[in-house]
């Protein structure tokens, strides 16, 4: 079966923590919707996975910002996948799933495609998703990481303070500029790869 839809889910935090480094994925996804142009609907509040979430459901990409706190993202991501893919009439092989998240180990704005099964490297959001959603081998799965840099201190408290600190104006410019362009290019590369794999089946 051919690839029909790509579900792109960003991890982050809601409310007062939305504009922090840990929510870099949310910021980039919001900017990505605008870069995709008029064919990608504006984000709006929609009931998905039994929670209100910001979503942009286009014919090619379904963009979703996880509405939960980072450390407990997994159950909602699993519910959203089941609702939009399985209950939406798509076979697992017709759907691609991409998790977009921040990355402390890369410099600000660096975007990388990572295997779904690659180590979470201490990222609690990825850890939660891995614990709740098992990748169906018939589907297409990947992660896209967005570098946010890292504080000099490596202790848990220093890292926590950093990821929950407000994104600076210049940092937001990088996320909404070069990082968003990088994520778009990564999605195009994944889509081409997955469609090519489908044609050989």
**What pLDDT, in 10s, does the model give residues 23-54?**
999 999 999 999 999 999 999 999 999 999 99
Instruction: Give the mean pLDDT of 4-15.
Output: 96
| DSSP letter string, 118-132 | S--TT-HHHHHHHHH
* Residue 87, token pair as written in the block: 């209950």
Query: What does CATH list as the number for 5-199?
Result: 3.40.50.1470
- pTM for the full model? 0.94
* Active site positions, annotated: 22
- Could you tell me which residues come within 8 angstroms of residue 185 by beta carbon, excluding any fewer than 6 positions away? 111
Mean pLDDT of the chain: 93
- The conformation of residue 133, written as its DSSP 8-state character, comes to -
pLDDT at 4: 92
């Amino acid at each position: 079966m051919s690839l029909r839809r790509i579900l792109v889910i960003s991890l982050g935090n809601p409310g007062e923590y939305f504009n922090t480094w840990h929510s870099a994925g949310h910021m980039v996804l919001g900017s990505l919707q605008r870069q995709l142009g008029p064919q990608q609907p504006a984000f709006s509040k929609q009931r998905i996975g039994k929670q209100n979430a910001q979503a942009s459901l286009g014919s090619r990409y379904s963009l979703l910002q996880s509405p939960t706190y980072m450390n407990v993202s997994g159950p909602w991501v699993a519910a959203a996948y089941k609702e939009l893919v399985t209950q939406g009439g798509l076979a697992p092989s017709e759907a691609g799933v991409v998790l977009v998240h921040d990355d402390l180990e890369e410099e600000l704005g660096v975007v990388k495609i990572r295997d779904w099964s690659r180590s979470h490297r201490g990222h609690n959001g990825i850890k939660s998703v891995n614990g709740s959603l098992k990748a169906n081998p018939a589907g297409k799965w990947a992660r896209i990481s967005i570098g946010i840099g890292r504080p000099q201190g490596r202790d848990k408290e220093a890292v926590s303070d950093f990821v929950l600190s407000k994104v600076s104006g210049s940092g937001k410019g990088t996320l909404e500029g070069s990082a968003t362009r990088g994520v778009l290019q990564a999605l195009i590369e994944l889509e081409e790869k997955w469609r090519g794999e489908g044609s050989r089946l």
